Amino acid sequence: MVSDRFKRPSVIVAAWAAVVIAVFVVRGDLRIARASEVPTVQTPLVGREPLIVRRPVSARPIEVATIMRRGRIFDALGFLVVGAEVVPMDRAALRTDGDGAFEVAMTPGATTDLLVRADGQQPAWLRMSEGSPDVLALQLMPTVPWEQAPTPLVPPSSLRGEGTARGADGKPLAGAFVTAMGTGVWARADDIGRFMLPLPSPLATLLLHAPHGGVGETGFYGTSAPLVNDRTQGAVPVPDLIAAPGLAIRGIVRDARGVPIVGVPIEITGSNLRRVVEAGSGGAFSLGGLVAGDYQARPFAYRGAVGIVHNIELRDASVDVDLQLAAAEEVRLRVVDERGSPVAGVFVATSVGGARRGVAQADSDGWAAVPVATQTQFDVRTPAHFAAVTVRRFDADPATLIVAMP
């Protein structure tokens, strides 16, 4: 009977298990030791470092979306400046090409200031925002020895305002432009009207500007109440900007012969807004999204013809204007005093349309060659200390500039 039980497989397995456990007990492998009896292993300190788990690095660099902005540099007579040095504040300098143009890559929401320099031209600053609605263009003026180099622009704040642009119906206004007045920094609302814009401290007034859309494509505008900021960095919510129907300035730009011209930038300035638009087909231009007020429109000079300032009163309706360029010719004139004696060595600068167009120093006989057009203003300075000299009158035939020397 006993032999029959040992023939069962379960009995055999149990017997072998008992034998194995007995062996471990005898060797002491199953003994429970006290903590003080557990041996410690001393690891040398040399070469010990924390375990760092790194994310796998891709062989391809991370691609950041960029937007190419193309700009042009003109001189005071409307000729494109080839080889002008354009110095962005956040990257290497570049030069304008044979068409007076340059290109700068920008990331969404970025703003950078450009210092533009060229031989014989007064250096100038140009602010470039990725979200700006403006044509990127700058007109340089001839350099004069009595003016200092321009100071850099105030850099954008690190304080960010986050808000939403909405129409009068409360719906998001996608694609609207927003700026803090006086900063020259722009942002553009996304598809659901949200925007993020640098805010100056301690006060900021926001302007919503949508140049297109609405009845008659007159666009929309809106302004905020003054915002008081007690912070200088970080993100803060701002009240929604509500748009109202705007007004528009439309017109045609013509050269000195009355022929419409294409591609000319036009600067339009009001009390709370400065925009630069471009003449399109047939010389036509249009700027909507304006609030009622007084504006000035001045086309850039173009191939020797200079822009004349046009004053515009925008009240209850949109306005159509005709912008005319005036021909500027280099005139060799003689500077004389009130007794008719030639005045040697003085500097003579001419301005048309609120911008300096040329400068020259009179020779020993008082002769100087400068560009002259209709409504030309003369600025005469002494050679030693650049003191202003009173201009009595200009006689066109023969070309004579009569001055009262100090």
Pairwise CA distance, residues 265 & 278, whole Å: 4
* Nearest partner of 83 among 100, 71, 103, judged by Cα: 100
At residue 12, the pLDDT reads 58
Q: What total of structural domains would you count in the chain?
A: 5
Residue 344 belongs to some domain of the structure: yes
Beta-carbon neighbour count of residue 181 at 10 Å? 17
DSSP 272: S
Range of the domain at 229: 158-245
CATH number (domain holding residue 92)? 2.60.40.1120
Helix or strand run (H / E) with residue 3: helix 2-6
Q: Is residue 70 helix, strand or coil?
A: strand
CATH number (domain holding residue 194)? 2.60.40.2070
What single-letter amino acid sits at 295? Y
At residue 4, the pLDDT reads 53
User: How many Cα atoms occupy the beta-carbon half-sphere of 18 within 13 Å?
Assistant: 6
User: How many Cα atoms occupy the beta-carbon half-sphere of 228 within 13 Å?
Assistant: 0
At residue 231, the pLDDT reads 86
> Do you know the residue count of the chain?
406
Low-confidence ranges of the chain (pLDDT < 70): 1-64
Residues 233 and 266 in one domain: no
369 and 331 in contact (C-beta within 8 Å)? yes
Residue 210 belongs to some domain of the structure: yes
Residue 38 belongs to some domain of the structure: no
